Amino acid sequence: MIIDLIAARPMAVLLPEYIGALVSGEIVGPGPEMIDLFHKCLPIAQYVSLIDEPFPKTLTNLSRMESFGYSETLRQVHDLSNLPESDAFGRLRPSPDAIQAAGKILVRMLQSGFDVPSPEEVSTDRDGDLRVAWEREGRSLELVCPFEGDRRPYIFYADDLDHDIAYDMGPYRLGRLLAWLAGLGGPFPR
């Protein structure tokens, strides 16, 4: 933190909105203008929004395979911000609040220590809610980040016999859901 010597109070420090860390541990950035370069040249780069979230220590310890699903998911979420605002069927572009919420939850998924798989689908519904869906062997997770910033994100999860909704977005709960999706978590999570 920087201290304003005249007023003797902490000053806000402007950090770049996005920075990236390569698997080698090298920090790359700053600035959102680097995102296109990451997409084109560095498919294994991980992106981390620094808004209200600590930089995950696990980020630089990931293997290429472990980081790919996370990077791919974040890339597809970011790509939705380039869509037209709407069409005849409803909203196409998610709100900045929905994109930010998805980024924060993806960081927590990464912090859980379980592999974040590449998504089956990243899209918006007609209300502009951002949806990220993962499927594996009859099990599915769908992260839903509402268009309105005052509504809570949730994960709908289901298998062939049951379904439920999780509002707890802590790394422990997200890790349990990712383990279950991968077939490592035992019975249907409650």
Q: What is the mean pLDDT of residues 119-140?
A: 96
On whether residue 139 sits in a domain, the answer given is: yes
Q: What is the mean pLDDT of residues 154-173?
A: 96
d(CA 31, CA 63) in angstroms, rounded, equals 24
pLDDT at 69: 86
On whether residue 126 sits in a domain, the answer given is: yes
On whether residue 187 sits in a domain, the answer given is: no
What tokens does 183 get?
A: 């077939």
On whether residue 76 sits in a domain, the answer given is: yes
pLDDT at 162 over 50: yes
User: Where is average pLDDT lowest: 47-51, 114-118, 158-162?
Assistant: 47-51
| Beta-ladder partners of 122 | 132
Domain limits for position 78: 2-181
On whether residue 188 sits in a domain, the answer given is: no
Tens of pLDDT, residues 8-65: 444 443 434 445 555 555 555 544 444 444 444 443 333 444 334 444 444 445 554 4
The residue among 73, 187, 185 whose CA lies nearest residue 119 is 73
On whether residue 26 sits in a domain, the answer given is: yes
On whether residue 176 sits in a domain, the answer given is: yes
On whether residue 168 sits in a domain, the answer given is: yes
pLDDT at 70: 87
The residue among 95, 118, 94 whose CA lies nearest residue 106 is 118
Q: How many domains does one find in the chain?
A: 1
